[in-house]
Amino acid sequence: MNRYSTTRKKGIGYIFTFFTVLVWGTTFIATKLLLVSFSSFEILVIRFVIGYAALSLMSPKFLPFKNIKDELIYAGAGLTGLTLYQLLENIALNYSTASNVSIIISSAPLFTAIAMRIFMKEESKPLNLRFIFGFLTAITGIAVISFNGSFILKINPLGDLLALCGAVIWALYSVLVSKINQKSHPPLASTRRIFFYCLIFIILLSFFIPVDISAQTQMKRFSSIQNIGLLLFLGAAASALCFVTWNTACSFLGTNKTTLYIYLIPVVTVIASIIVLGEKITLPGSIGCALTIAGLLISEDIFKKNVKKGA
């Protein structure tokens, strides 16, 4: 691979990363609004049905089945990063504050670095003090942003535990995506395959989790233009498109480096809250944004020096 193509891939990787973070940073608001009319599981079902339909339009050709090992990796990615992670995050928002969930989910880069070290040791190097310092700086900034000057920590054991499980699950998904990217399959086709297995797991879960399918309830829900718009946003943009851009970014930049940008999601959430909900930015919020970005830059510098190509 020549220098030009490498530079171009890095540029595309950063564009895809920032786009994905920008969209995912607004999903907390969209999900919170939808939870008024839908259950956590119902949002999950509708979101990924729309997502799979969109991916099928973008990539009509189904990726051929090759061997059981590959299919298990795709199935694992569909179970972890899509089904379990999204379900855990949605349920956590029912029991905990958006601030708590945002902070805890943002610990995913640390768990990802640990998981990559355990399961893909040849692709990464041990964590060091600068990475830990960058992580703590970013998390401190995220905490300040999320509390936005109130500094009242409301402990919600169930919700917070679910959010923590979500961060760990995302780390496992990141490892599986790294393995998938090594196979050099087309990004759209690979993401569609992951969504395919997600739908299978959702169908299995539907036997145990009740879903309200009454005509009266559906008429009330889908008579709202806001609900329809938010569901399309979560399904087509935040799911179908963003999982393609995120997985591609992981392939171009490396999983560890790309995952670090999860730190920016709460920053985007605060900005979206100002624009959509009319909230005001406070001095602590501004300081939190600065700390989060500083932590990201410190941690990324570590990976530039210490992570091998393709990590």
Domain ranges of the chain: 7-306
- Round to whole Å and give the CA distance between 97 and 80: 23
62: DSSP letter: P
Name the pTM for this structure.
0.79
Nearest alpha carbon to residue 82 among 270, 229, 248, 247:
247
For residue 309, the model assigns a pLDDT of 39
Question: Would you say the C-alpha torsion 21, 24, 25, 26 has a positive or negative sign?
Answer: positive
- Round to whole Å and give the CA distance between 232 and 43: 11
The two tokens of residue 208 are 């145990």
Q: How far is CA 191 from the centre of its chain?
A: 14
- Round to whole Å and give the CA distance between 256 and 113: 6
For residue 305, the model assigns a pLDDT of 47
pLDDT tens, position by position, for the chain (311 residues)? 444 477 888 999 999 999 999 999 888 788 888 988 898 889 989 999 999 999 999 988 888 888 999 999 999 999 999 899 988 988 887 877 666 677 778 778 888 888 888 888 766 666 778 878 888 887 787 777 666 545 444 556 777 788 889 989 999 999 999 999 888 788 889 999 999 999 999 999 988 888 877 888 888 888 899 999 999 999 999 999 999 999 999 989 988 888 888 878 877 877 777 777 666 666 776 787 778 778 777 876 544 544 443 33
